[in-house]
Homo-oligomer: A and B are copies of this chain.
Amino acid sequence: MSLSMYHASIPLFIRGLAILHKAASHAEAKQIAPDVFLNARLAPDMFPLLRQVQIVSDTAKGCAARLAGVEVPSYPDIETSFAELQERIAKTVTFLKDLAPAQVDGSEERPITLKMHTQEVHFTGQAYLLGFALPNFYFHLTTAYGILRHNGVDIGKKDYLGEV
């Protein structure tokens, strides 16, 4: 089976979001004031956990929708608790699961335009997925993981990689 745009995106996003769900559950289980975790960051000018999770969600739903040529669902960034973040993660996964492989496959050359700050950036679907969305997705997922590990949450590399 040759490599497909669907397999190189949607299942990877779903798996990453499952990691985030598990990591957030472990953090919640510590029964420490949730703000401690949600506002924790690795450096003063890096985003805190709460925002990292929102960006993981945004990267996944944005990439999936753009490749499929459907409207990017808008989730307002209003979460203030683990429960709300878990809802957002679940909502993102549901959106991803509702996309059929046929909607995403064949999007290699689909023109993708992103508004970034004051400029527009143009990609093909393939360049967008491989050079932008996936590295970004893993960046924010790993940073969320790193914030939790740095703060003593009991998760491990096998939670990140899942069953192999």
Question: Does residue A131 face the partner (Cβ distance < 8 Å to B)?
Answer: yes
| Residues of chain B within 8 A of A161, CB atoms compared | 132, 135-136, 139
| Residues of chain B within 8 A of A95, CB atoms compared | none
> Is the pair A138, B142 in contact by a Cβ cutoff of 8 Å?
yes
How many whole Å from A142's CB to the nearest CB in chain B?
A: 4
> Is the pair A12, B43 in contact by a Cβ cutoff of 8 Å?
no
Question: Which of under 10, 10 to 19, 20 to 34, or 35 or more describes the interface residues of A?
Answer: 35 or more
| Residues of chain B within 8 A of A130, CB atoms compared | 7-8, 11-12
Give the contacting residue for A139; candidates B8, B43, B138; CB below 8 A.
Answer: B138
Interface string of A31-61 (1 = CB under 8 A from B): 0000000000011001000000000000000
* With known contacts A108-B1, A121-B164, A152-B43, A139–B142 Cβ distance under 8 A: yes
How many whole Å from A144's CB to the nearest CB in chain B?
A: 10
> Is the pair A164, B3 in contact by a Cβ cutoff of 8 Å?
no
Question: Does residue A143 face the partner (Cβ distance < 8 Å to B)?
Answer: yes
A153 to B73, CA, bound (A): 36
